[in-house]
Amino acid sequence: MAERTGNKQLVKGNVALAEGAVQAGCKCYFGYPITPQNAVPEYLSWRLPEVGGTFLQAESEVASINMVLGAALTGARVMTSSSSPGISLMQEGISFLAGDQLPAVIVNMQRCGPGLGGIQPTQGDYFQATRGGGHGDYRTLVLAPANVQELFDFTYLAFDLADKYRNPILVLGDAILGQMKEPAILEPDHPREEPDKSGWTLTGAKDGRPLRNIRSMFLGEGVQEQLNYTLREKYDRMERDEVRYDQRWCDDADCAIIAFGTAARIAISAIHEARDEGIRVGLFRPQTLYPFPFDAIRSLSERVKRLLVLELNTGQMVEDVRAAVGDRAAVGFHGRPAGGLPSVTEVLAKIEEL
């Protein structure tokens, strides 16, 4: 990402993303409280009405995501946020959003599991986020911010992407990113792009136009199959046009760490220490997890022969990295799940091992 200029303020991640939504023209928020993202609904409960929007605390995450779907039918920019257990409850609704081809933004400030788990940071939901999560053959585009600025920027961007593809977009953070404070510029760096939606929204059949029906169930020989091909074609476009990543210190690197989100922050600290000791380590940080930067990682593995995947789980993204790299380079893994944070020393030791 290019350096941003503007007024910096010290702000919490959860608040930055909520303000990113407001700046993106989000008109409705529906959600249910869960730590570590409560600052999102608390902020939007006063901020959205201030800009003429609607805030409603729903009776559950199941209800939240279906309220999101209802608002999306009207073409309004709409979002929800939650944390891992709540996102699990939303999966049926996210599948419906994908099948109905409706734009919506969903934020997951991950907390650890499985089960009730705890409120510590984790990246345990990588598979759920990148493989669709709910039932059926669909994908959600997944943005992975690694700092408070990106929480603002990616949430802002998520609304444009949701409208562009008429698809649910996930912003995947974690308990650290949501709750930490950092200086950030809470102004967008580009104007938002909201397409004309009047061709498909449910407005009531105006001026005698034929009825519209938005659904995911299609009877008739081959029609449901065709919907899945249509979706696939959309995912192909995302894979072609929406891959985002941040690559640093790789030009002279003998090895590189591949990490996203909070894990990438730890990687950066380790890389600075390694370089102080004369070990040339680079960073590759996916900013979209779906679509995954397969091609960029493949070309990296042509040049850098030792790669360490660092995650806050016991090994999820590493499967995608191995698929990208094949036998071009050695791929090591280090991860700590459920609130265990890898120390810089641990990471340096793993780099030595490679």
Among residues 284, 343, 329, 334, the alpha carbon closest in space to that of 313 is found at: 334
Contact flag: residue 335 with other proteins (CB under 8 A): no
Q: C-alpha 172: how far from its chain's center?
A: 4
> Which residue among 5, 115, 211, 276 contacts other proteins (CB under 8 A)?
211
Cα distances (Å, whole numbers) of residue 309 to 108, 142, 306: 22, 19, 10
Pairing mode of beta strands 245-248, 281-286: antiparallel
Determine the interface stretch with other proteins among 24-32, 158-166, 254-262, 288-296 (rule: CB under 8 A): 24-32
Task: Give the nearest distance from C-beta 73 to other proteins in angstroms.
Answer: 5
Site size toward other proteins, by CB under 8 A: 41
Contact flag: residue 199 with other proteins (CB under 8 A): no
> Which residue among 28, 255, 312, 329 contacts other proteins (CB under 8 A)?
28
Contact flag: residue 227 with other proteins (CB under 8 A): no
Among residues 234, 255, 14, 26, the alpha carbon closest in space to that of 137 is found at: 234
Task: Give the nearest distance from C-beta 206 to other proteins in angstroms.
Answer: 5
Determine the interface stretch with other proteins among 51-59, 110-118, 176-184, 331-339 (rule: CB under 8 A): 51-59
299 CB-near residues (< 8 Å, 6+ apart): none
Task: Give the nearest distance from C-beta 209 to other proteins in angstroms.
Answer: 9
Between 100 and 129, how does the x/- string for binding to other proteins read (CB under 8 A)?
A: x-----------------------------
Task: Give the nearest distance from C-beta 89 to other proteins in angstroms.
Answer: 12
Instruction: For residues 235 and 248, give the distance between their C-alpha atoms in angstroms, rounded to a whole number.
Output: 28
Task: Give the nearest distance from C-beta 23 to other proteins in angstroms.
Answer: 19
> Which residue among 202, 279, 296, 338 contacts other proteins (CB under 8 A)?
202
Contact flag: residue 56 with other proteins (CB under 8 A): yes
Task: Give the nearest distance from C-beta 43 to other proteins in angstroms.
Answer: 19
Residues between 275 and 304 that touch other proteins (CB under 8 A): none
Residues between 245 and 274 that touch other proteins (CB under 8 A): none
Contact flag: residue 138 with other proteins (CB under 8 A): no
Residues 264-269: contacts with CB within 8 Å, 24+ apart? Answer: 264/146, 264/310, 265/146, 265/147, 266/310, 266/341, 266/342, 266/344, 266/347, 267/310, 267/347, 269/344
Residues between 68 and 97 that touch other proteins (CB under 8 A): 68-74, 76, 78, 92-93, 96
Instruction: For residues 350 and 279, give the distance between their C-alpha atoms in angstroms, rounded to a whole number.
Output: 13
Cβ–Cβ under 8 Å, residues 148 and 239: no
Exposed/middle/buried for residue 204 (C-beta within 10 Å: 0-12, 13-18, 19+): exposed
Task: Give the nearest distance from C-beta 303 to other proteins in angstroms.
Answer: 48
Contact flag: residue 196 with other proteins (CB under 8 A): no
Instruction: For residues 307 and 324, give the distance between their C-alpha atoms in angstroms, rounded to a whole number.
Output: 12
Taking residue 277's Cβ as centre, other Cβ atoms within 10 Å add up to 8
> Which residue among 131, 212, 232, 237 contacts other proteins (CB under 8 A)?
212
Q: Rounded to the nearest 5°, which phi and psi values hold at 70? A: -60, -45
Cβ–Cβ under 8 Å, residues 144 and 287: yes
Q: Which residues bind other proteins (CB under 8 A)?
A: 27-28, 30, 54, 56, 58-60, 62-64, 66-74, 76, 78, 92-93, 96, 100, 202-208, 211-217, 219
